[in-house]
Amino acid sequence: MRQVRAQGGRAAWPVALGLAGILCQVGFVFLIARLLATILGFPGGGFGELAAAGALALLGAALSMTQEMAQQAAGERARASIRAALFTRLMELGPADPRGVGEKATLLVDRVEALDGFFARWVPAAALAILGPAAVILIVAQFDGTSALVLAVMGLLVPVAMALTGIGAAVESRKQLDVLGRLSGRFVDRLRGLSTLVQFNRAEDEARALGAAADEFRQRTLRVLRVAFLSSAALELLAGFTLGYLAWRHGMLLAPQVTDPTPALFCILAVPVFFLPLRNFSQAYHEAMSARGAAAELAPLLEAPAATGLLLEEVPPRVALVFDKVELTYPGMDRPALPRLTFALAPGETLMLVGPSGAGKSSVLRLLMGFAAPSAGRIAINGEDVTRLKPAELRRLSAYVGQRAHLFGGTIRENIRLARPDATDAEVQRAAESARVMAFAAHLPQGLDTEVGEGGFGLSGGQAQRVALARAFLRDSPLVLLDEPTASLDPGTEAEVMEAIARLCTGRTAIIATHSPQLMGLSGRVIELAGQRRVEQHVG
């Protein structure tokens, strides 16, 4: 609803068009009533009424089309705004968010798309479900007060019938979305790890598990449809009863004497017009229930308080770093992932973090990028406590290169420029040369403007890693964080990447988490995080 209010008058435009369309339909059925009375032998209708009815029919169709386009535009704007806010929040959380890639993709795509019915149909339908029937009742009352009263009573029974079925619809819809989220997330995650499943001969088992999850989703969907059909049946029953009663009543009134049947015909023909906004409301009601189920999962992310902290006036050219008895314990864990780590780095110094997987090397990097806060101890940069900074500001101080660089579909130049979108072509060129990207890009058909596929398709692992290093050169941050930057490279490629890493670390404070003996030769400062969580420091 905050999104609806943020749209201002644009959200009211579809309602105004819908109300105008309903008034056109009322006028249309009145003219049809006069024409039918003329056919029955009563005066009043003619070619003028016929032409006016045709014009109103065309105008109503035009208004309906315009309303539909306005509703779609409102839905697109709202979904784009929510998706942007959600994406920003997920980027702020980074690795701190425990959701898998598949679940995040489901949030950004399926959950947000499930909100479309709320913005595009429910919001205008809810307003028109009040304004439309009220307008019809006021007009019908000018011809027959009793008919208007019957319409009012039947209209008030519609929300009661919808509420009785809507409670069940909301519950089933939420369960359906939960099952869909698990199914989508599991499918994406298993697809990403398909080669591993095949190697361990688990592909058939996972296929059966996915089939069971898909069957559960099918059953949940059918339950939602059953409740939806029950609601539609209740509405049609009320509409049928109203139409039958008014037809009987006016038939009895007209039977004793022959009078102009136009008012009676109008009251009867107005019944479908009266129930049309309510029918649209009923259909949109189930979409609103689906949207509520999606919103229940999106709300904790979107309504989470924004990160607080100080902003940097400017990025310092050099940084000194101090860890003073720093501990980090992740939620749900009994033992700290990082136990009382202490070290100090002077500006321009390089530190190697070594140790077995799970010893806490990546945790150190997460702390320095603001994706986690220390449970105890103090981290200081240039003497200032980093917890006072906004996490995004902390990330401005650093350039990060992980084990596997992810390249997006586009040119090599565009992938490098992601580090600093306002960089000039000359700056991108210098970064590419420093990272030795030009060593292979010069032989490509279009150099740095050569297109690569999503995930770096078309480049080798070593070439993609050099593009990632070029990003770090272009970012030109005083703190460099490298997490196993040569882990997946062959010895020849590793030597080339190490040369670029050595240039990147020169003059910058750097922390490198690695298992590579070759990389350890880049610095005499080594901290070993042992399996027992003891910390040993070696100075070469």
pLDDT at 535: 47
What is the rounded CA–CA span in Å between residue 315 and residue 311?
10
Residue type, 188: V
Cβ pair 280, 287 in contact under 8 A: no
Cβ pair 371, 95 in contact under 8 A: yes
Local structure of residue 307 (DSSP, 8 states): P
What is the rounded CA–CA span in Å between residue 2 and residue 24?
32
Give the rounded distance of the alpha carbon of 278 from its chain centre.
30
pLDDT at 356: 79
Other CB atoms within a 10 A radius of the CB of residue 356 amount to 12
**Domain 7-299 sits in CATH 1.20.1560.10:** yes
Cβ pair 453, 408 in contact under 8 A: no
- Dihedral sign of CA atoms 338, 398, 321, 436 in order: positive
What is the rounded CA–CA span in Å between residue 464 and residue 455?
9
pLDDT at 533: 43
What is the rounded CA–CA span in Å between residue 261 and residue 251?
9
pLDDT at 372: 83
Cβ pair 7, 74 in contact under 8 A: yes
What is the rounded CA–CA span in Å between residue 341 and residue 323?
7
Question: Which three-class secondary structure state does DSSP give residue 354?
Answer: strand
pLDDT at 257: 64
Lay out the sheet containing 479-483: strands in order across. Answer: 398-401, 479-483, 509-513, 350-354, 525-529, 535-539
The token duo for 106 is 């489901």
For residue 130, CA distances in Å to 54, 98, 270, 291 come to: 27, 44, 16, 21
Name the segment(s) of the chain with CATH classification 1.20.1560.10. 7-299
pLDDT at 258: 57
Cβ pair 11, 74 in contact under 8 A: yes
Angle value at C-alpha 245, between 243 and 246, nearest 5 degrees: 65
What is the rounded CA–CA span in Å between residue 426 and residue 417?
11
What is the rounded CA–CA span in Å between residue 486 and residue 477?
21
- Dihedral sign of CA atoms 399, 402, 406, 411 in order: positive
What is the rounded CA–CA span in Å between residue 126 and residue 230?
20
**Total residues found in the chain within this entry:** 540
Nearest one of 424, 463, 419, 410 to 441, comparing CA atoms: 463
Tell me the mean pLDDT per 10 residues along the chain, length 540: 71 85 89 83 75 88 87 83 84 72 76 80 84 89 87 82 62 68 72 76 81 80 69 76 82 66 85 85 74 76 71 84 88 80 89 82 87 87 86 85 86 91 91 89 87 84 88 91 82 80 89 79 76 46
Per the DSSP assignment, residues forming a β-bridge with 513 are 353, 483
Nearest one of 265, 279, 275 to 29, comparing CA atoms: 265
Name the segment(s) of the chain with CATH classification 3.40.50.300. 321-539
CATH architecture, domain 321-539 = 3-Layer(aba) Sandwich (3.40)
The token duo for 384 is 């200032």
What is the rounded CA–CA span in Å between residue 342 and residue 323?
5
What is the rounded CA–CA span in Å between residue 40 and residue 345?
99
Dmax (CA) of the chain = 115
- φ/ψ of 534, rounded to 5, equals -80, 150
pLDDT at 334: 78
Q: Where are the alpha helices (DSSP H) in 391-490?
A: 391-396, 412-417, 425-434, 438-441, 461-475
